[in-house]
Amino acid sequence: MMSASKPDILWSPHHADRFVVCDSELSLYRIGPAGASEAKGGALQLSEETAATLLAVNSDTPYMKCVAWYPKSEPECLLAVGQANGRVVLTGLGQSHGSKGKDLTGKEFVPKHARQCNTLAWNPADSNWLAAGLDKHRADFSVLIWDVGGRHPPEAMQAEKPRLSGDADPCAAATKPLYELGQNDACLSLCWLPRDHPKLLLAGMHRNLAIFDLRNTSQKTFVNTKAVQGVAVDPHFPERVASFFEGQVAIWDLRRFEKPVFTLPEQAKPLTKAAWCPTRTGLLATLTRDANVVRLYDMQHAPAGPVGSDESEPTVIERGVQPGGDVVISSFAWHPSTQNRMVVVAPNRSMCDFTVFERVSLAWSSSTDLVWACGRHLYECAEDAGDVAAEKDVATKMRERARSRYGHDTVQVWRNHLLAGGNDPQIRSLWYTLHFMQQYTEETEQRQQGNKQSLIYSGIKNIVKSCSGTTESRRRWKGSERTADATQYHGEERGLALRLCGWIGRGPDVDVEPFLRSLEQEGEWERAASVALFNLDIRRSIQILQKGAQAEKGDPNLNVVAMALSGYTDEKNSLWREMCGSLRLQLKKPYLCSMFAFLTSEAGAYDGVLYESRVAVRDRVAFACMFLNDNQLSRYVDKLTDEMKEAGNLEGILLTGLTKDGVDLMESYVDHTGDVQTASFCMLRGSSPEVVKDARVQCWIENYRDLLDAWRFWHKRAEFDIHRSKLDPSSKPLAQVFVSCNFCGKSISFGCSAAPHQGRGFGQYGVGGSPAKSKVTSCPGCRKPLPRCALCLMNMGTPASSRAGAGKSDEKADLPREKKLAQFNNWFTWCHNCRHGGHAGHTLSWFRDHSECPVSACTCKCMQLDTTGNLVPSDNI
Amino acid sequence: MFVAKSIAADHKDLIHDVSYDFHGRRMATCSSDQSVKVWDKSDSGEWHCTASWKTHSGSVWRVTWAHPEFGQVLASCSFDRTAAVWEEIVGESNDKQRGLSHWIKRTTLVDSRTSVTDVKFAPKHMGLVLATCSADGVVRIYEAPDVMNLSQWSLQHEISCKLSCSCISWNPSSSRAHAPMIAVGSDDSNVTYTGKVQIYEYNENTRKYAKAETLMTVTDPVHDIAFAPNLGRSFHVLAIATKDVRIFKLVPLRRESSTSSGPTKFEVQLMAQFDSHNSQVWRVSWNITSTLLASSGDDGCVRLWKANYMDNWKCTGVLRGDGSPVNSSSVSAAGLNAAVPSGAQNSGMGAVSAGRKKTQLMPG
């Protein structure tokens, strides 16, 4: 029995929350919100939101082949069941044995010869008509149309009664159909054409599709085709019909029935169902055997009108939905009224309720808002700035940093990392490096030692290259008589390198103590301890660890470390050495690990410290500068530089400086992060002109300016430009606008060669001029008067009265602002469309209340001409 | 964290495209109802439709903004085989009271004989240049030589791609080191034609576009394609919506001599490939720094992808097409933090909801 393994599913035509699953029995379900209070143990979860409750089961009708739901709302839950022997039974489900249902429920319609009933279809207009499609039996008819409400001749009922198989069914069985069609043929599928053609029946016969006209049963239109299964009329285009055969779906136009309008791409496996979506035009869902995907064909733009012209382009969009993941789907049913909703059922009767979403189109805005369109709806999704926990996108970070004036602190350069949020170790390292570099530059400038200048901003890599006059020394452990194993190296360049690393401060003394104290203050106990140790002060190191263990947020385990440290011995074969050498690898904290690596390593072989990548680059480099000889040092720095360049790690700027090498490193950083903001500000810090002219640097700067513009951070962009022109004077743009005198044609700017930079606004242009000079109301060239302000009718150049024009209450609220703008009010502005203008203040106040130009008979809508001009910058908070 | 809210769109049929302007303060939508709507964002963050007009005699597939330095200019393309350029004007019909603006058609580009499937303005440093592609497999590049006169467009290039084209994307890089470049995707469903993504590059010497690269590994229909904003990077990144989401990296190989003609050679790397949409992927879109990618697919979801420093991409958020959250197990692993509003599925398409539905998604 086929139906046992293949449950089918049907929605009630009247109750939006009921459906029937049929395999060997009929089960009526009600669907409702999941987790509702009434949800009982029996409810089946169909989706996140919905669950189904079993209402009734009907197993009265074995050998079911096909089922059709009675189209009228009364009696509810009446179904016609076609059986394997051709018999059609009307059966009810559940509670509704109402008065009206009684006379229909239980009725049976029996063909003359027993054969399988393939399909059933209720007439949508006349609900008494039920069409049944049967297999072939010799020359018998295969399409029978029964009148379920009709009164049957009693004798016919009598005649059939003995054939009812034993069960004392009191109900009537009819054998006389209203119409008999399709003689000598088989019927595989049936459907009625919609309401305007109540008498037309479309049938998939053995080898053709046929349209029977019940008004004249001899009339039959047909077309020979193999695609005779699953005929379905598009509810939105009654002329459009789909039918299938094996893996192929054909779409027909009934007005041009000779051949399919088009066929859909062939599926590998045979199709089992095709159904038009009742709630959306042109959406056909199909299912193949053993598939977990419902394929959808969106034919909205396929020619639904007259076809035949070769210009028609069937645009069919194929889609696929997997409602249940990998679960094979046995059948599906569209919900009759809820848009794009369907329920699918699997062979094991598990069900899934879901909605087919329309194809979603989406877009990001420049400020990281996401908008998408789904069907006819729009949704906008904004990033919530209040969220602290999640890692922010770099676009958000850059916006926040631009707001906090990141990069603009040119005095205390290191503070920029705090402006950046203070939580990025790379950025922190970068700005400290730049800070130390700048400090040294300033100092050398004071000392007027021009020859050192070239080394600054060029990084430790270049500094150690020029190493000369290195001296070796065997230092003693501080506070101990013993000589340390380690050989220390000294030299002017090495000292400079240590300063850039931040280990030692300015001045001639090479004291690391201030650095230790600052580390202690920041609670970086391990780091401080290891720096002290590398400076051969083991007591200080232990002292730091003890302090760290006692500190409020300190780690008590540091005491243990201090104890381990105090046991240090330079005896080569001691247990201490052996154990520390192996146990240190299990230490989680990189600085502790490197401390013991230092103590246990042979002189000159410090790989355990140098290649401990979790230790900050500046500390490793400083260490290398103290303990590696010239050759080793230069090789180590080169290797580390390449590593940093590869990884785009900003800590490497310490090594490369702001040179071409530094640009390479920064390129790698930008490639990884997209952070052009840091790249721009860093390269503008103190790079040589050749480096700033590098195409890549210029590209980052332009990209950063574009970002600021897109975010409407125009003030920030302008500030950035000012900042940039200080460090790179060539970037200053020329004056953009001049006003020439009507009479002599000369520019009216005073000393126009030094005309102030007027910004880039498109809407209004001002002509500068200090207030003192602005009393001049005539052209400096020919002494003819300047044009008059359209509002006060004074010649330009006359100071504008700040009270003019306005008045009203908003004037007072604006007072402080008005003051700020007082100078601007004197400026000369005009509409570059109608070329009328006047004092900026007067013009602005006019357009507060008017949309048209103040000059008589001029209808120009000066203020609305430029949409960008009406946008407000988003950073003037 | 992302918060989704619905906007009453009021289109009478499916919306096919939505696009932001340069500043993100204006938005344009286009639909099967043959119209385009323009939306403006108020200071309080609400979107208001300020223009809605019939643009074509068929479904409007795509709408796109020109850079604002060319004025307020839109281009649309349609099933009716045309593309059109629109400009907002200030005139008598401007109704500021109702907040409506007036858009007039500056030109209709009628060269295609089939449905025009995509339209995109070139990056602004190239001038006012517009590319279209059509179902008959032709990419057309138009230029307005006079930016003050948008009714004059000349057809500068016709590139025949042999396969039905569904989408185009300009390389947005403004670096002088990168020649103008356009990528084309094909939705031809025949998988035996490989190379559904072709990349064309402008050659300064021949003054023509020549094929620089074909992504032979893309064999399934391509529905959308997007170059990532370059932002000063030394390579290009291309996202492709096909049966999965793919992200390709194109690294220009440094030339031996700058004088050698011929297109740039690229090292093509597949950076990521996600099949989480289970089936067809319809759209991909990059954020401004190309650090976040959004994609939509037949699972009805919008997915957000983000790369870490090591170029490992992962999903940082999933939203269902109706704005409701998804909390399947795969998503909760990605850090979804959502409360389930009930009945979201049942909100019919017919009822245009103006209400707010809040969803919380946390990028993990």
Same domain, A18 and A150: no
Closest alpha carbon within chain B to A679: B232
Q: What global pTM score does this model have?
A: 0.84
Q: With H, G, I as helix, E, B as strand and everything else as coil, classify residue A429.
A: helix
Please give the interface size between A and B, counted as residue pairs whose CB atoms are below 8 Å apart. Answer: 292
The confidence score (pLDDT) of residue A709 equals 93
Most confident of A33-42, A567-576, A648-657, A798-807: A648-657
A contact test, residue of B279, B281, B357 with most A CBs within 10 A: B279
Q: Do B302 and A696 touch (CB under 8 A)?
A: no
Q: Is A808 on the interface with B (CB under 8 A)?
A: no
The confidence score (pLDDT) of residue A753 equals 36
User: Which residues on B lie below 8 Å from A48 (Cβ)?
Assistant: 327, 340
Domain boundary residue, one of A103, A123, A151 = A103
What is the largest distance, in Å, between two alpha-carbon atoms of chain B?
Answer: 65
Q: Domain coordinates of chain B in residue numbers?
A: 13-160, 166-364
- Asked, for residue A303, whether it belongs to a domain, the answer is yes
Same domain, A202 and A285: no
Same domain, A153 and A175: yes
Same domain, A176 and A197: yes
Q: Do B36 and B46 touch, CB atoms closer than 8 A?
A: no
Q: Do A49 and B174 touch (CB under 8 A)?
A: no
Q: Do A346 and A334 touch, CB atoms closer than 8 A?
A: no
Tokens read off for A183: 């003689």
pLDDT tops 80 at residue B196: yes
pLDDT tops 90 at residue A587: no
Same domain, A59 and A118: no
The confidence score (pLDDT) of residue B91 equals 58
Domain boundary residue, one of A595, A628, A661 = A628
pLDDT tops 60 at residue A712: yes
Q: β-strand A108-109 against A173-174: which pairing, if any?
A: parallel
pLDDT tops 90 at residue B158: yes
Average pLDDT over residues A45-62: 84
Query: Would you place residue B144 in the very low, low, confident or very high pLDDT band (cuts 50, 70, 90)?
Result: very high
Long-range pairs of A451-459 with CB within 8 A, sequence gap ≥ 24: A455/A493, A455/A496, A456/A657, A456/A686, A457/A657, A457/A658, A457/A659, A457/A685, A457/A686, A457/A687, A457/A688, A458/A657, A458/A658, A458/A659, A459/A653, A459/A654, A459/A655, A459/A656, A459/A657, A459/A658, A459/A659, A459/A661, A459/A662
pLDDT tops 80 at residue A735: no
Average pLDDT over residues A89-95: 79
Average pLDDT over residues A570-574: 72
Most confident of A315-319, A556-560, A718-722, A755-759: A718-722
The confidence score (pLDDT) of residue A761 equals 32
Q: Is A59 on the interface with B (CB under 8 A)?
A: no
Q: From the CA of A812, how many Å to the nearest CA of chain B? A: 23
- pLDDT tens track for A18-50: 899 988 888 889 888 877 645 556 778 888 788
Domain boundary residue, one of A337, A356, A375 = A356
- Asked, for residue A809, whether it belongs to a domain, the answer is no
- pLDDT tens track for A811-869: 444 445 545 555 777 777 888 788 888 888 888 888 888 888 888 888 888 877 776 66
Higher-pLDDT residue of A387 and A583 is A583
CATH of B13-160, one of 2.130.10.10, 3.40.50.1100, 1.10.10.410, 1.50.10.10: 2.130.10.10
What is the largest distance, in Å, between two alpha-carbon atoms of chain A?
Answer: 130
The confidence score (pLDDT) of residue A504 equals 82
- Superfamily of domain B166-364 in CATH is YVTN repeat-like/Quinoprotein amine dehydrogenase (2.130.10.10)
- pLDDT tens track for B3-51: 788 898 889 889 999 999 999 999 999 999 999 999 999 888 889 999 9
Higher-pLDDT residue of A724 and A566 is A724
Which domain range does residue A27 map to? 1-103
Angle at A475 between CA A474 and CA A481, to 5 degrees: 115
- CA–CA separation, A681 vs A478, rounded Å? 43
DSSP state of B101: -
- Asked, for residue A266, whether it belongs to a domain, the answer is yes
Same domain, A219 and A244: no
Q: Out of A581-590, A648-657, B336-345, which region has the weakest mean confidence (pLDDT)?
A: B336-345
- Asked, for residue A528, whether it belongs to a domain, the answer is yes
Residue given tokens 């790179």 in the structure block: A728
User: Which residues on B lie below 8 Å from A50 (Cβ)?
Assistant: 345
pLDDT tops 50 at residue B363: no
- Asked, for residue A705, whether it belongs to a domain, the answer is no
- pLDDT tens track for A428-446: 999 988 888 888 877 777 6
Average pLDDT over residues A329-337: 91
The 10 Å CB-count burial string (b at 16+, else e) for A732-767 is: eeeeeeebebeeeeebbbeeeeebeebeeeeebbbb
DSSP state of A736: -
Same domain, A505 and A557: yes
**Does this chain's domain B13-160 share its CATH topology with B166-364?**
yes
Length of chain B: 364
- Minimal Cβ distance to A370: which of B174, B294, B362: B294
Average pLDDT over residues A779-790: 81
B contact test, residue of A293, A297, A703 with most B CBs within 10 A: A703
Closest alpha carbon within chain B to A871: B25
Domain count, chain A: 4
Length of chain A: 877
Residues in contact with A65: Cβ distance below 8 Å, sequence separation at least 6, in sequence order: A2, A3, A82, A83, A84, A116, A117, A118
pLDDT tops 80 at residue A102: no
Q: What is the average pLDDT score of chain B?
A: 83
Give the phi and the psi of residue A570 in degrees, each rounded to 5.
Answer: -90, 10
Query: Would you place residue A411 in the very low, low, confident or very high pLDDT band (cuts 50, 70, 90)?
Result: confident
Q: Do A293 and B47 touch (CB under 8 A)?
A: no
pLDDT tops 60 at residue B305: yes
The confidence score (pLDDT) of residue B356 equals 33
Query: Would you place residue A480 in the very low, low, confident or very high pLDDT band (cuts 50, 70, 90)?
Result: low
- Asked, for residue A754, whether it belongs to a domain, the answer is no
Higher-pLDDT residue of B262 and A425 is A425
Closest alpha carbon within chain B to A870: B25
- Asked, for residue A277, whether it belongs to a domain, the answer is yes
- pLDDT tens track for A146-202: 888 765 444 444 444 444 444 434 455 677 888 888 888 888 898 888 766 677 778
- Asked, for residue A23, whether it belongs to a domain, the answer is yes
Q: Do B6 and A377 touch (CB under 8 A)?
A: yes
Q: β-strand B35-41 against A283-288: which pairing, if any?
A: unpaired
DSSP state of A97: -
Long-range pairs of B190-199 with CB within 8 A, sequence gap ≥ 24: B191/B219, B191/B220, B193/B163, B193/B219, B194/B218, B194/B219, B195/B219, B196/B163, B196/B220, B196/B221, B196/B222, B196/B242, B197/B222, B197/B225, B197/B238, B197/B240, B198/B161, B199/B238, B199/B250, B199/B266
Same domain, A340 and A487: no
Angle of helix A676-686 relative to helix A394-403, nearest 10 degrees, comes to 50
Q: What is the average pLDDT score of chain A?
A: 79
- Minimal Cβ distance to B15: which of A373, A861, A867: A373
pLDDT tops 70 at residue A401: yes
Tokens read off for A256: 């041009």
pLDDT tops 90 at residue B126: yes
CA neighbours within 13 Å on the CB side: how many for A3? Answer: 22
Query: How many CB atoms lie under 10 A from the CB of residue A168?
Result: 5
- Minimal Cβ distance to B321: which of A318, A374, A386: A374
Residue given tokens 């042979």 in the structure block: A602
Query: Would you place residue A706 in the very low, low, confident or very high pLDDT band (cuts 50, 70, 90)?
Result: very high
Average pLDDT over residues B56-73: 93
